[in-house]
Structure 1
Amino acid sequence: MDMSTTAPIKEMTAATVTGAGSISVDTYPLHEPGPHQVRIRLEGCGVCASNLSPWAGPDWMTFPTEPGGLGHEGWGYIDAVGREVTRLKPGDRVAALSYHAYATHDIVEEDMVVRLPPSLDGKPFPAEPLGCAMNIFCRSGIGAGQTVAIIGIGFLGALLTQLCSKAGARVIAISRRPFSLEVAKRMGAAETIEMDDHWRIIEEVRRLTDGRFCEKVIEAVGQQWPLDLAGELTAERGRLIVAGYHQDGPRQVNMQLWNWRGLDVINAHERDPQVYVRGMQEAVDAVSSGKLDPTSLYTHSFRLDQLDQALDATRDRPGQFLKALVIFP
């Protein structure tokens, strides 16, 4: 995109969350980037399940949010750069780890940006969750010939199913919704199990693995029961990878079982921004090369003034929901 031919814009449009379950969309002055920053004219932003706790209006939440606040999965074109920026230029199509991306524009530190190649032109690219999947896969140590159970086939679980199956692992996908299990099959799962009865699932995995259970188990739900189930399905000296977002209260674990089986337990969440960005770049490379194809997983799109509907859908997961994107005209 040639930004030099675009008329200067002095305002941006941004959403704020004004209270539990409510938003406002307004115009704000458009600021210039600092010396090491770039400004992105956003094409869209993914909706993350981590937004749901603030959306519910807990006591610790302060309303209203900052303009664009909570949005951190944005992509678009750079339209201005700071005076010290040398790696990027106006017109570059990029994805970023930013924090005010429920807006038409966001300002981001230069080192929080990854450039998108021409092969991804016209395609949405919520890089942060794609990078999370790459980082989880990397920390899982999954390779060819291993049996991997993935508990919870939402957007993240579907991405991990594809990555694991393409790495040569045998994936057993476990999920509550029949639609999610169909998605898992498309992503390469060798076996699928409906997530209904705790002991039935354990016996089914025991049967599928000739009693050995799974070398690797990824828990991608973020609730107590799936975490309990993950421990039961992990083989002796296997690895249990916690990818679920456990932010609604404390958890208990069956330490007797974990001790007896000698499990390695990996908390696959990252907090170092540079690790996030590294995963985002790996996601760019994976999608460009065909190692990862998230296209069919973007199931719902909304306008910025429909952000409340996008957040509700992310919470309620209607029908064939996997991932919501907010798209800006």
Structure 2
Amino acid sequence: MQSTLEEKSTIQAEAALPETMPAAAFAGDKKIIIKEAPLPSPGTTQVLVKLEGCGVCASNIPTYEGREWFSYPQEPGAGGHEGWGVVVKAGESVKGLKPGDRVAMLSYAAYAAYDVAEESQCMKLEGPLADKAFPGEPLGCAINIFNRSDIKAGHTVAIIGIGFLGALLTQLCKERGATVIALSRREYSLQVAKECGADHTIPLNDHWQIIEQVKQLTGEKWCDRVIEATGKEWPLNLAGELLRNRGKLIIAGFHQDGMRNVNIQQWNWKGLDVINAHEREQEVYMEGMREAAEAVASGRMDPAQLYTHTFSLQEINKAFECITQRPDGFLKALIKL
């Protein structure tokens, strides 16, 4: 009898779902349009999620600005990959999730009211996370980069680039017991780094002055680890300058806009370990998200203070204006639905 009632309730809930939904579509030339799109249907191993929100990621900037190799307009919702929300429909082979479960997920069309995701790429948001915004992909990314960095208590770590990711890494490094030197071009970002526990802050401006400052701060011992989180060529080469012999250079920046000229001679002479900390394995992403959930629930990582701007889906153009122009006070934007 109970099973019959649950089945009836599920059928009624699914019948109440709309046939279409609002979704954002990149149109190129710094334009995003909002259109009505068909409601996606989950496959047998997927769930349909009514989104509560989605983080806005800098990796979408090339698509937003427009590149000749992209086709426009993009598919509705495409590019959104930091979503969270509530399951409203489950495929017939889904066993661990049901309508009503709140989840963070890895999906790729979350700039919309609904999106589908594989059950294996969803994580329940329960307990302390039950009512919190949780863009799982970037939070898991921070954890995975930190784990690849092999940071130990007593290490001196320079973090070049204090955006959302750099701020989270500052928190994690301090919790581990490292000394953190934060470098950023924005005064606001340096203040955020201080609030996240950075021991020293340096403006990211003059190459040789930065080297001299780090030399003095470390007593000429230099840094055990340098995490480059800008995605730009100059900071990548600066990173090699700041490392001690046999130190580790961790590339966390998103280098997707062209070739790079790097000082391989220096890296080779110093015997540096160069670690590309980006992940492509879905299970590793999920492991990072699960650890991020534990870190946020325990207070080891506190992203709430870093969500500085919130926009509706209809205001997504404003969100991308912020992420490209980075006005004072901006760090991370969320689209709330």
Question: Which of the five TM-score ranges fits, normalised by the shorter chain?
Answer: over 0.9
1:114 match: secondary structure = strand
Q: 1:131 aligns with which of 124, 140, 143?
A: 140
Q: 2:109 aligns with which of 92, 97, 100?
A: 100
When the two structures are aligned, how many residues end up with a matched partner? 327
**Whole-Å separation in 1 of the counterparts to 2:154 and 2:174:** 10
State the partner residue of 1:9: 17
Letter in 2 for 1:81: A
State the partner residue of 1:167: 176
**Whole-Å separation in 1 of the counterparts to 2:239 and 2:56:** 26
TM-score, normalising length: structure 1: 0.97
**Whole-Å separation in 1 of the counterparts to 2:269 and 2:39:** 59
State the partner residue of 2:290: 281
State the partner residue of 1:178: 187
Letter in 1 for 2:102: R
| Structure 1 residue ranges without an equivalent (≥5) | none
TM-score, normalising length: structure 2: 0.94
Q: Deviations along 1:94-115, whole A, 9 cap, x unmatched?
A: 0011000000100111111111
State the partner residue of 2:321: 312
Letter in 1 for 2:27: T
Which one is further off, 3-12 or 121-130? 3-12
Letter in 2 for 1:9: L
Aligned structure 1 segments of 4 or more residues deviating by more than 4 angstroms: 2-7
1:50 match: secondary structure = helix
Q: Quick check: 1:36 aligned with 2:45? A: yes
Q: CA deviation at 1:13?
A: 1.5
The within-5 A match list for 1:51-200 is: 51-200=60-209
**Whole-Å separation in 2 of the counterparts to 1:153 and 1:279:** 20
Q: Quick check: 1:265 aligned with 2:288? A: no
**Whole-Å separation in 1 of the counterparts to 2:48 and 2:330:** 31
Q: CA deviation at 1:118?
A: 2.5
Letter in 2 for 1:181: L
**Whole-Å separation in 2 of the counterparts to 1:23 and 1:173:** 34
CA RMSD of aligned residues (A): 1.4
Which one is further off, 23-32 or 230-239? 23-32
2:205 match: secondary structure = coil
**Whole-Å separation in 2 of the counterparts to 1:182 and 1:129:** 21
**Whole-Å separation in 1 of the counterparts to 2:313 and 2:52:** 11
Alignment check: 8 A CA contact 2:159 2:166 kept: yes
**Whole-Å separation in 1 of the counterparts to 2:220 and 2:29:** 48
% identical aligned pairs: 56
Which one is further off, 243-252 or 5-14? 5-14
**Whole-Å separation in 2 of the counterparts to 1:28 and 1:255:** 49
**Whole-Å separation in 2 of the counterparts to 1:219 and 1:108:** 31
Q: Quick check: 1:298 aligned with 2:307? A: yes
**Whole-Å separation in 2 of the counterparts to 1:66 and 1:272:** 24
| Structure 2 residue ranges without an equivalent (≥5) | 1-5
State the partner residue of 2:3: none
**Whole-Å separation in 2 of the counterparts to 1:31 and 1:113:** 17
